[in-house]
Amino acid sequence: MTTAQGSFVVDLKPLEFEAVPSESQLGRMAINKVISGDLSATTVGQMLSAMTGVKGSAGYVAIESVSGALHGKQGTFVLQHSGSMNRGAPSLHIAVVPDSGTGELQGLTGEFTIIMADGKHAYTFEYQLPEPAATAAGI
């Protein structure tokens, strides 16, 4: 596994959640990021969320398309988020969608971790790319 680190700025914008009563505790947002560091990229995506009547309990899922360079390798890939808060205790899993990598990122697998400190967003991305295929000459 290889580790990428850096920071990002996130832009969340509320979106209409079709066919859901206005009193529901469901939400939908556009989630777009500008990522810097070992991963230099932009993302576009959407997040669905569910609040509950219990303070500190909620859940969300999101899909975001990432386009840029990872340690200098160009391409795109998709991240899948699954998060929850259980009475204030957070749980978050963000992984590369299998076979979503394109360009030099084809075959990418990995786990993306968000780090919040002092109101800023940082990340650690543990990833793996397939070994380059050997040439016919054996080089």
Among candidate residues 28, 16, 37, the one with its CA nearest the CA of residue 60? 28
Domain with 7 in it: 2-126
Q: Examine residue 131 and state whether it is found in any structural domain, yes or no.
A: no
Cα distance between residue 57 and residue 99, in whole Å: 33
Q: Examine residue 22 and state whether it is found in any structural domain, yes or no.
A: yes
pLDDT by residue (tens digit) across 35-64?
A: 999 999 999 999 999 999 999 999 999 999
CA angle 42, 45, 51 (to 5 degrees): 130
Please count the structural domains in the chain.
1
Q: Examine residue 133 and state whether it is found in any structural domain, yes or no.
A: no
The pTM score is 0.90
Average confidence (pLDDT) over 117-137: 84
Cα distance between residue 115 and residue 124, in whole Å: 8
**Which residue do the tokens 């998060």 mark?**
83
Cα distance between residue 62 and residue 121, in whole Å: 17
What CATH number does the domain containing 79 carry?
A: 2.40.350.10
User: In this model, does residue 120 exceed pLDDT 70?
Assistant: yes
Q: Examine residue 83 and state whether it is found in any structural domain, yes or no.
A: yes
Question: Which alpha helices (H) appear in the chain, and where do they start and end?
Answer: none
Residue 20: its pLDDT value, please? Answer: 83
Q: Examine residue 134 and state whether it is found in any structural domain, yes or no.
A: no
Q: Examine residue 132 and state whether it is found in any structural domain, yes or no.
A: no
